[in-house]
Amino acid sequence: MDLQGRVALVTGATGHIGRAVCDALAELCAGVVVLDLHPEVCHDVAESLHRRHGVEAVPLPIDLSDDQCPSQIVRHVLDHYGQLDILVNCAAFVGTSNLSGWNTYFENQGVDAWRQAVELNLTVPFRLTQACAAALKHSGRGSVVNVASIYGIVGPDISLYADTSMNNTAAYAASKGGLVQLTRWLSTVMAPDVRVNTVTPGGLARNQPEVFQQRYVARTPLGRMGTEEEMKGAVAYLASDLSAYVTGHNLIVDGGWTAW
């Protein structure tokens, strides 16, 4: 199964998971629109996809917080490709340790940080899917894949973060949980023309403090953290006709973390 002749739009395309998603779709011969904030990185990722996989990859640097961007994005994709078959909502607000009210204990988490997370993690996928709906329907094989998180379906074990600079934020969890439910809602409303599913990654190894990784691994049935590479198969499955009778589904890729 390949995606020859199909066009995919990937938001957050230059992030850790976004790059893996773009790579998975390009490996299957889809044209890829590489959407993210920074122009140079978007161009680099698009050029790499073209060089390694021979597909047409188009960089689309844009600020998703702009209220006008969903309609602009759709126009850009249709002007260039004339079609849109796959939308992957991968952009996510994860904040930084320097953002006030974000990487801190619950009692200190701020409303401004909450609003930024909900806007990018939940409102943007809603608005962009809405803007892309007509093109996806016209495709005849439209597929939306939302990228959530295990913290959108289970609560955190805060003890994992003890004695580290890391923390777990309510806004991230609530917005990702909302994205899982938005998937279910869209899957019935956009049916039968467009399928809508979620991929939910577990913890991915990204040079976290050793003590955190040890605690996380101890709670994971497969005995290790995941990698971005391991997200590729899930996205490829949900984007392609291999999942032609699958919609409203949340495919959890977490090494068994949420199984107990």
Q: Which domain CATH number covers 89? A: 3.40.50.720
Q: The domain containing residue 55 runs over which residues?
A: 7-259
Is 152 a domain residue? yes
Beta carbons within 10 angstroms of residue 235's beta carbon: 28
Query: What is the number of domains present in the chain?
Result: 1
DSSP assignment of 168-214, as one string?
Answer: --HHHHHHHHHHHHHHHHHHHHSTTTEEEEEEEE--B-SS--HHHHH
Residue 138 included in any domain: yes
CA–CA separation, 210 and 241 (whole Å): 40
Q: What is the pLDDT of residues 220-251, one digit of tens each?
A: 999 999 999 999 999 999 999 999 999 999 99
Q: What is the pLDDT of residues 4-63, one digit of tens each?
A: 999 999 999 999 999 999 999 999 999 999 999 999 999 999 999 999 999 999 999 999
Q: Does residue 120 form part of some domain?
A: yes
Q: Report the amino acid identity of residue 26.
A: A
Tens digits of residue pLDDT in 181-217: 999 999 999 999 999 999 999 999 999 999 999 999 9
Contacts of 248 (CB under 8 A, 6+ apart): 183, 184, 187, 188, 196, 197
Is residue 97 included in any domain, yes or no?
yes
Question: Does the residue 96 lie in any domain?
Answer: yes
Give domain status of residue 14, yes or no.
Answer: yes
Q: How confident is the model at residue 97 (pLDDT cuts 50, 70, 90)?
A: low
Mean pLDDT of the chain: 96
Mapped to the 3 state alphabet, what secondary structure does 87-143 carry?
Answer: EEECCCCCCCCCCCCCCCCHHHCCHHHHHHHHHHHHHHHHHHHHHHHHHHHHHCCEE
The model's pTM: 0.96
Task: Give the per-residue pLDDT at 99.
Answer: 84
Q: Is residue 164 part of a domain?
A: yes
Question: For residue 61, is the peptide bond before it cis, meaning its omega torsion is within 30 degrees of 0?
Answer: no
Contact 246, 238 (CB under 8 A): yes
Question: What is the layout of strands, in order, in the sheet containing 86-89?
Answer: 57-61, 31-36, 7-11, 86-89, 142-147, 194-201, 250-253
In angstroms, the CA 216 to CA 91 distance is: 24
2 in any annotated domain:
no
| The pair of three-digit structure tokens given for residue 21, joined into one six-digit string | 């998603």
| DSSP-derived 3-state class of residue 60 | strand
